Amino acid sequence: MSFSVPVCPVPAEQQPINEYQELRESWFFRWATLNLWSYLKPIFILWGVSWLISAPVAATSFTPAKHSIQFFLFGASGAMIIPTLALVRLYLGWVYVRDRLAQPIVFYEESGWYDGQVWTKPDEVLQRDRLIVTYQIQSILQRLKLTFGAILLLFLVGSIIWQFSELI
């Protein structure tokens, strides 16, 4: 008994499984898959480097010697813009690949923007892709969501400290 394996008409670079592999191997997107310290280290580095831009702006608005709390909070929140943008890019890339893997139909282009086609995944391919989503990508997206939650929490704590510092 032999089984015929359906030929996938989707070009290799547009196949969801290959897009997933490319993301996992990419120097930027691989960042979200690293162990906790290796994941957090670039966030801290970007935040620290971003202080080169946010500190002069914060110092212009709040003299560090006179308004040190406001200077630090303003500078810290401004420095968080670049790491947050990097994390948003990570999140959007992984969501795109998750959606491509989870969908039963793959949209692709054979030779250009004007000849879009669709391919319905066979059940075996769809199950494999959905397992990858469930056991690989969901944990990456959960980590990124937790990171966004932590950033939001820090921002809220900073806002509360700001309010109390004005009372002093």
Examine residue 132 and state whether it is found in any structural domain, yes or no: yes
Number of domains present in the structure of the chain: 1
In which domain, by residue range, is 145 found? 12-167
CA distance 85 to 43: 11
Q: Mean pLDDT throughout 48-59?
A: 97
Residue 79 falls inside a structural domain: yes
Full-model pTM: 0.89
CA separation, residue 53 to residues 29, 78, 84, 159 (Å): 25, 8, 15, 21
> Considering only CA atoms, which of 7, 127, 147, 45 is closest in space to residue 87?
147
For residue 60, tell me if it sits in a domain.
yes
- Residue 113: the pLDDT is 66
**71 lies in a domain?**
yes
**pLDDT for res 5:** 47
Asked if 14 and 112 touch (Cβ cutoff 8 Å), the reply is no
The helix (H) or strand (E) run that includes residue 69 is: helix 68-79
Q: What is the mean pLDDT of residues 17-39?
A: 96
- C-alpha dihedral over 41, 92, 94, 108, to 10 degrees? -150
Residues 112-153: pLDDT tens digits? 666 788 999 999 999 999 999 999 999 999 999 999 999 999
> Is residue 84 included in any domain, yes or no?
yes
> What is the Cα gyration radius of the chain?
22
- Inter-residue contact 144 to 40 (CB < 8 Å): no
The vertex-21 CA angle with 18 and 24, nearest 5°, equals 150
- Can you give the pLDDT at residue 34? 96
Could you tell me if residue 7 is inside a domain?
no
Q: Is residue 3 part of a domain?
A: no
pLDDT of residue 2: 42
Q: Is residue 73 part of a domain?
A: yes
Q: 78-119: per-residue pLDDT in tens?
A: 999 999 999 999 999 999 999 999 999 999 887 766 678 899
Specify the pLDDT at position 15.
93
